[in-house]
C-alpha cells in the first residue's frame, strides 16, 4: 500500500512564508498516517500572481520554497511532489516541479512542457517550455510528473508509462475567469474531472491532481476538485471546492497486475 496525502488550498499572493506554513499545517494533521507521498499544487507559494512569480523567482535549486520543503520531507519522513515554483536559470524562467525524497534530497526536476497560451493565457510570454518528461524512482513507486495544462496532451502520459510510471501526478492551478456563468463553471469542472479520469484509465495508473482553489488572482478563480483516480476510473478522492487535504491508501499491486496483463505501454 502507498499512503498519499493530496493538498488543496488558496495561497496568499506575495507572502510565501504564509503559504508554506499552510502546507505544513495540513501535513501535521496527518502525521499519524503512513506518508509515502505528499502532493501540493502548482504555484502554491505565490498564487497566480504574475508580479510575485516573475519578480521573485527561485534559483535552480528551488530557493527558499524548496529549502523549506526539504525540512518538511525530513521531519515527516515523506516524499514530496513540490507543486511548482518559478525557477530562474540564467536569464530564463521555467515553471518547475521539484521532487524530494524522504531525506529531503532533490531526486527530480520537471520543467513544464505544455505552457498555457490559450483561452487568454500568456504563460509562454514570460516562461520557457521544458523539453524532458520525468519519471522518478521513489522508494515505493515509479512516479511520473506533469503540470496543469499538460493534462490536455495524452501523448506526454503515454511517454511516462513507457518509462514505467505507476503513479502520475499533476500539480495544477486550473482556473476560470470570475465573470463566467454558473453553467460555464459547471462545464469547466465536469471537463476537468473527465480529463482526470481519462488520464488514469487510458494509462492504467493512479492519477493525482493537486489544484489551487478560490480567488487566486484578481481575475481568476481556481476550481479545486483535486482528485485521486484509480486505474479503472474510480474516483478515490475529490477535494471539492474547499481548502483541505485528503489521505488515501493506494494498493500498488493493482498497478503491477495491470502491467502484466494489459501492457498498454507496449500497444501501438
Instruction: Assess if residue 135 is contained within a domain.
Output: yes
Point out which residues pair with 106 in neighbouring strands. Answer: 100
Residue 196 placed within a domain = yes
CATH number at residue 176: 3.60.110.10
The DSSP output letter for 136 is: E
**Distance of alpha carbon 222 from alpha carbon 200, whole angstroms:** 22
Residue 189 has pLDDT above 90, yes or no: yes
Q: Assess if residue 268 is contained within a domain.
A: no
Look at residue 261 and tell me whether its pLDDT is greater than 80.
Answer: yes
Kindly state whether residue 265 falls inside one of the protein's structural domains.
no
DSSP codes, 200-214:
HHHHTSEEEEEE-EE
Tally of residues, the chain: 268
Place of cell 503513479: 167
Condensed to tens digits (0 to 9), the pLDDT of residues 3-26 reads 999 999 999 888 999 999 999 999
pLDDT in tens, 135-158: 999 999 999 999 999 999 999 999
Q: What is the pLDDT of residues 169-179, one digit of tens each?
A: 999 999 998 88
Q: Containing H/E element for 247?
A: strand 244-250
User: For the chain, how many structural domains are there in total?
Assistant: 1
Bridge pairing between strands 2-8 and 37-39: parallel
Nearest-angstrom CA–CA distance, 264 and 201: 10
* Residue 26 maps to a domain: yes
Alpha helices (H) along 81-224: 154-162, 182-203
Q: How far is CA 228 from CA 69, 170, 237, in A?
A: 22, 10, 5
Boundaries of domain holding 215: 2-259
Task: Kindly state whether residue 100 falls inside one of the protein's structural domains.
Answer: yes
pLDDT of residue 144: 98
Quote the pLDDT of residue 51: 64
pLDDT band at 49 (very low <50, low <70, confident <90, very high): confident
132 in helix, strand or coil? coil
Contacts of 194 (CB under 8 A, 6+ apart): none
Q: Which three cell numbers stand for residue 216?
A: 487566486
Would you say residue 25 lies in a domain?
Answer: yes
Confidence band, pLDDT 50/70/90 cuts, at residue 264: confident
Mean pLDDT over all residues of the chain?
94
* 91 in any annotated domain: yes
Amino acid at each position: 500500500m502507498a499512503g498519499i496525502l493530496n493538498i488543496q488550498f488558496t495561497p496568499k499572493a506575495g507572502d510565501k512564508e504564509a503559504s508554506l506554513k499552510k502546507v505544513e499545517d495540513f501535513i501535521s494533521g496527518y502525521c499519524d498516517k503512513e506518508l509515502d507521498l505528499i502532493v501540493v499544487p502548482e504555484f502554491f507559494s505565490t498564487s497566480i500572481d504574475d508580479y510575485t512569480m516573475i519578480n521573485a523567482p527561485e534559483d535552480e535549486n528551488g530557493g527558499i520554497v524548496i529549502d523549506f520543503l526539504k525540512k518538511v520531507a525530513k521531519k515527516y519522513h515523506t516524499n514530496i511532489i513540490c507543486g511548482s515554483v518559478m525557477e530562474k536559470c540564467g536569464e530564463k524562467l521555467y515553471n518547475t516541479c521539484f521532487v524530494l525524497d524522504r531525506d529531503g534530497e532533490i531526486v527530480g526536476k520537471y520543467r513544464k512542457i505544455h505552457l498555457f497560451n490559450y483561452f487568454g493565457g500568456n504563460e509562454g510570454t514570460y516562461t520557457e517550455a521544458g523539453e524532458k518528461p520525468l519519471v522518478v524512482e521513489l522508494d515505493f513507486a515509479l512516479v511520473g510528473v506533469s503540470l496543469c495544462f499538460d493534462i490536455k496532451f495524452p501523448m506526454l502520459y503515454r511517454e511516462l508509462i513507457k518509462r514505467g510510471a505507476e503513479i502520475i501526478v499533476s500539480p495544477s492551478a486550473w482556473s476560470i475567469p470570475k465573470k463566467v456563468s454558473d453553467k460555464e463553471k459547471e462545464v469547466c469542472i465536469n471537463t476537468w474531472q473527465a480529463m482526470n479520469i481519462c488520464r488514469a484509465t487510458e494509462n492504467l495508473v493512479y492519477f493525482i491532481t493537486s489544484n489551487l482553489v478560490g480567488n487566486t488572482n484578481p481575475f481568476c478563480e481556481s476550481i479545486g476538485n483535486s482528485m485521486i483516480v484509480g486505474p479503472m476510473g474510480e474516483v478515490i478522492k475529490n477535494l471539492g471546492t474547499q481548502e483541505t487535504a485528503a489521505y488515501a491508501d493506494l494498493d500498488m499491486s493493482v498497478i503491477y497486475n495491470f502491467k502484466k496483463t494489459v501492457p498498454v505501454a507496449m500497444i501501438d
